[in-house]
Amino acid sequence: MGMRILYLVRHGHYHMESDSAKYGQLTALGRRQAKRVGRRLASTGFHVMHHSDMLRAVETAEIIARQLDRAIPIRSSKLLREGVPTVPCPWLPNLTRAEAQRNRARMDAAYERYFKPPRSGQREELIVAHANIIRYFVSCAMGDSVAKWARISLTQGSLTVIAVGPSGRAMLTSFNDVGHLPPKMCTFL
């Protein structure tokens, strides 16, 4: 058995006005964030890129893919969609327990799917997703209470790295790394 290294990228800044035709699309800033993280990861020997099927993650993944030194398989997944896994949630007071349970079941399925050791050798995989699911993955990897996911801050366009060893033990090796972004490009919402 080997080691799986997962590079988790939060999508770039996006249009959040729900009444706008641009809702969910990356802003110009979000496209620049994605390009910078892509350049940072350009020479990494990824075996595959997985991304959420939500527009802001799809666009971020496409921009990153253009920056990589070589073409890799790219796979869209509904498992990686945004969601809130627990209630109460301070910024979504109307979220029902049933909705949170469905989100958590999906996030657990995603964790089981991606956070396991490879059959052999070392695999490097890129995952482009959303703050809540990345924060949930970090909580799971750290063996922390999943209820604490909401207390973790994550910058748009940031990089988090988790390695999964031969035993299946996950190790957080980097969190919310924004060394590729100048301070004026760091956004949270």
Global confidence as pTM: 0.95
Whether 1 has a pLDDT exceeding 70, the answer reads no
pLDDT digits (tens, 9 = 90+) for 130-189: 999 999 999 999 998 887 888 889 999 999 999 999 999 999 999 999 999 999 999 987
Name the residue ranges covered by the structural domains of the chain: 3-181
pLDDT digits (tens, 9 = 90+) for 35-91: 999 999 999 999 999 999 999 999 999 999 999 999 999 999 999 999 999 888 777
Reduced to 3 states (helix: H, G, I; strand: E, B; else coil), residue 14 is: strand
What does the angle CA 15 – CA 78 – CA 150 come to, to the nearest 5 degrees? 65
Alpha helical stretches, state H, 9-130: 28-41, 55-67, 97-114
Tell me how far the alpha carbon of residue 83 is from its chain's centroid.
Answer: 12
Whether 8 has a pLDDT exceeding 70, the answer reads yes
Work out whether strand 48-52 and strand 74-77 pair parallel, antiparallel, or are unpaired.
parallel
The CATH code that applies to domain 3-181 is 3.40.50.1240
- Beta-bridge partner residues of 177: 159
- Rounded to the nearest 10 degrees, the angle between the axes of helix 97-114 and helix 131-141 is 60
DSSP 8-class letter at 58: H
